Amino acid sequence: MKIEEVRERAFAMPLTCPAYPPGPYRFVDREFLTITYRTDPAKLRAVVPQPLEIEEPLVKYEFIRMPDSTGFGDYTETGQVIPVTFNGRQGGYTHCMFLDDEGPIAGGREIWGFPKKLANPSLRKEVDTLVGTLDYGPVRVATATMGYKHGAADLKAVRQALEAPNFLLKIIPHVDGTARICELVEYALLDVDLKGAWTGPGALALSPHALAPVAELPVVEIVSTTHILADLTLGLGKVVHDYLA
């Protein structure tokens, strides 16, 4: 294979059979269960990198069911997103993510810097309850429950939240093990078709785990619970801060 051919073909690993295709990445019938809760402010400050800033000690614990996603297939994801500000703009910082599909794990980490790890999340309906769970190996790490469609949510507020900027800490190591890339990345959800949004009573239980430490941001008080169904495109990112510059 000639040098020019390598340059033309190289966009992801492995060269001859990449773990995911080129974008754009469109998601159809993406379903969210989001429980917003108040946590320990000192522990929250310890995990949010500057220049991001925290206004309130809040965390959004999300379960996301993605049955139809371009190039990534059918999978489920869960994790913690922290409301932050950057240069006066409100957005969300993705602290951790756990999912069950190799393609979006590789693509999410390599392109944007999503903090994705392999685990076994689920989001399902159980009679009158929406249930989200996260298992890391045989251990149950998180359980979220919500009364199914008890009330209509404010669609304008939900859309604003979906379209707000999102921030990631992208780290790619050099061959000597040091950081070759360490950047704050901003991305957005695009072309959002909001099909419905609901509220209801919610509960969230987090259990300590050495390799899935979601309980390090403990639940002090549940603030709100939202169930969303939407189609959307995952926009590509841009670097807004280079930690190695």
Omega of the bond leading into 14 within 30 degrees of 0 (cis): yes
pLDDT digits (tens, 9 = 90+) for 178-208: 999 999 999 999 999 999 999 999 999 999 9
Per the annotation, the verdict on 116 as an active-site residue is yes
Residue among 171, 39, 42, 195 nearest 109 (CA): 171
pLDDT digits (tens, 9 = 90+) for 121-153: 999 999 999 999 999 999 999 999 999 999 999
Catalytic residue among 43, 116, 195, 238: 116
pLDDT digits (tens, 9 = 90+) for 19-30: 999 999 999 999
User: Does this model's pTM top 0.85?
Assistant: yes
Average pLDDT, the chain: 97
Query: Could you confirm whether domain 16-242 is CATH 3.40.190.10?
Result: no
pLDDT of residue 131: 98
Residue 112 Cα to chain centre, angstroms:
11
What's the rounded Cα separation, in Å, for the pair 209 and 74? Answer: 26
**Structure confidence at residue 219 as a pLDDT band (50, 70, 90):** very high
pLDDT digits (tens, 9 = 90+) for 47-77: 999 999 999 999 999 999 999 999 999 999 9
The domains of the chain are located at 16-242
